[in-house]
């Protein structure tokens, strides 16, 4: 029938329509798939088809529509692929990188790396260990047995289903592992992330970073510790920085002390930071308790040593005048990009 021939001609026309670019594809879509496309009028011819062939005619017209839809999809996909290919062909990997894509170190990393550099200059080696720790290395080896009241000083995250495995509460566990696997002399710093079950606020967080130090050898004295920490303070805060040591308590050192540095009260910033005293607390320290040496199979009659621990976040907040510790953990690019020029 002439009407069927008309549909066949339409299908061949659809197949032969040239599509070489996005503009021609859009013209094709309007011509055969748009609201006023060329296929719609053919549907109206079904009234002139004998009843016994109406179904056949309907299938033929649907074939024309499906041919148009398939051709449109295929060309749309191929043109997109070609566009992506052209984009990559224009990329020259030998050109300098766009400065806008340069990253920056996190303020915690900046301060931690600086502290590591300071101690490496005087012979301290970096020691790193696991963050999931056992109870013995985290507490017992450090003179904190199960019934010791000092355990109440640190709210601990224990792993589900275990009362012996936990997220380390300090990098002192690294010291314990080094002392049980190496013989003195030992001179290490242990930087890393630690965890405590504390309420998150502007001044405290459930995770933070420490750099702990340990020096064990024959005839190590409190004076050695004081001179080491004075050197550290002057490298970090300035050549004329003064320090003071105040008596304190830690289960793994005896005697123990807190170290403050003198910032003065010359500016509103230092007054606010030191609460008007001029002194800023920066770390805890002390002589290694003989019980810790015994626990790690080191003879306290032969060897002695000192240890110290520094909170990185507090130092970073002081250095960069950050008022809220939560900013250090939120990964807000608007905040982090401010440190792109920091060293």
pLDDT interval class at 320 (50, 70, 90): confident
- What pLDDT is stored for residue 296 in this prediction? 95
Higher pLDDT among residues 273 and 298, named by residue: 298
Please say if the pLDDT value at position 103 is more than 80. Answer: no
What would the mean pLDDT of 42-67 be, rounded to a whole number?
82
- Owner of token pair 């026309």: 13
State phi, psi for 73 to the nearest 5 degrees: -60, -45
- Owner of token pair 């016994």: 52
Q: Which of 60, 64, 53 is nearest to 15 (CA)?
A: 64
Higher pLDDT among residues 343 and 34, named by residue: 34
pLDDT interval class at 214 (50, 70, 90): very high
- What pLDDT is stored for residue 160 in this prediction? 86
Which residue spans within 144-252 are E strands per DSSP?
165-167, 186-195, 207-217, 243-250
What would the mean pLDDT of 33-46 be, rounded to a whole number?
81
Is 127:188 a contact under the CB 8 Å cutoff? Answer: yes
Please say if the pLDDT value at position 100 is more than 70. Answer: no
pLDDT interval class at 141 (50, 70, 90): very high
Contacts of 193 (CB under 8 A, 6+ apart): 131, 207, 208, 209
Please say if the pLDDT value at position 95 is more than 80. Answer: no
- Domain positions in the chain are 2-89, 107-339
* Model confidence, pTM: 0.67
What would the mean pLDDT of 212-219 be, rounded to a whole number?
96
Enter the DSSP assignment of 92. -
Please say if the pLDDT value at position 83 is more than 80. Answer: no
Q: Which of 205, 141, 150 is nearest to 179 (CA)?
A: 141
Euclidean distance between the first and final Cα of the chain, in Å? Answer: 84
Please say if the pLDDT value at position 151 is more than 90. Answer: no
- What pLDDT is stored for residue 162 in this prediction? 81
Please say if the pLDDT value at position 260 is more than 90. Answer: yes
- What pLDDT is stored for residue 28 in this prediction? 87
Higher pLDDT among residues 304 and 59, named by residue: 304
- The superfamily CATH assigns to domain 107-339 is Bira Bifunctional Protein; Domain 2 (3.30.930.10)
Please say if the pLDDT value at position 128 is more than 90. Answer: yes
Contacts of 342 (CB under 8 A, 6+ apart): 104, 105, 107, 110, 320
Higher pLDDT among residues 113 and 49, named by residue: 113
Please say if the pLDDT value at position 342 is more than 70. Answer: no
For residue 217, what are its two tokens?
Answer: 């050898």
- What pLDDT is stored for residue 29 in this prediction? 86
DSSP one-letter string for 266-319: SSHHHHHHTTTSSEEEEEEEEEEPHHHHHHTT--TTT-EEEEEEEEHHHHHHHH
| Most confident listed range (132-136, 272-276, 322-326) | 132-136
- What pLDDT is stored for residue 192 in this prediction? 95
pLDDT interval class at 82 (50, 70, 90): low
- What pLDDT is stored for residue 154 in this prediction? 62
Could you tell me what percent of the chain has a pLDDT over 70?
Answer: 91
Mean pLDDT over the full length of the chain: 87
What would the mean pLDDT of 211-240 be, rounded to a whole number?
95
């Amino acid at each position: 029938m002439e009407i069927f021939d008309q549909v066949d001609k339409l299908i061949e026309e659809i197949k032969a329509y040239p599509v070489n670019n996005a503009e021609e594809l859009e013209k094709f879509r309007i011509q055969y798939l748009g609201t006023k496309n060329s296929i719609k009028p053919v549907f109206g011819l079904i009234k002139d088809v004998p009843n016994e062939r109406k179904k056949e005619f309907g299938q033929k017209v649907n074939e024309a529509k499906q041919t148009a839809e398939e051709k449109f999809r295929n060309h749309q996909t191929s043109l997109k692929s070609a566009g992506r290919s052209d984009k990559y062909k224009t990329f020259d990997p030998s050109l300098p990188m766009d400065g806008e894509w340069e990253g920056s170190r996190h303020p915690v990393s900046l301060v931690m790396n600086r502290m590591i550099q300071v101690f490496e200059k005087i012979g301290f080696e970096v020691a790193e260990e696991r963050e999931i720790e056992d109870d013995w290395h985290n507490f017992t080896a450090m003179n904190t047995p199960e019934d010791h009241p000092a355990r109440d000083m640190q709210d601990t995250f224990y792993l589900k289903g275990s009362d012996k495995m936990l997220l380390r509460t300090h990098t002192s566990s690294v010291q314990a592992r080094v002392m049980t696997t190496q013989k003195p002399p030992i001179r290490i710093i242990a930087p890393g992330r630690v965890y405590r079950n504390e309420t998150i606020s502007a001044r405290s967080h459930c995770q933070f970073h420490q750099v702990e130090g340990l020096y064990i050898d024959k005839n190590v004295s409190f004076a050695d510790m004081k001179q080491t920490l004075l050197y550290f303070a002057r490298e970090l805060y300035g050549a004329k920085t003064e320090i003071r040591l105040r008596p304190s308590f830690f289960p793994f050192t005896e005697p123990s002390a807190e170290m403050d540095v003198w910032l003065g009260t010359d500016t509103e910033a230092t007054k606010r930071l030191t609460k008007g005293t001029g002194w800023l607390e920066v770390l805890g320290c002390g002589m290694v308790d003989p019980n810790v040496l015994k626990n790690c199979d080191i003879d306290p009659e032969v060897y002695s040593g000192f240890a110290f621990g520094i909170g990185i976040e507090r130092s970073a907040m002081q250095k960069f005048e950050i008022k809220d510790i939560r900013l250090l953990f939120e990964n807000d690019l608007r905040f982090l990009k401010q440190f792109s020029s920091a060293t």
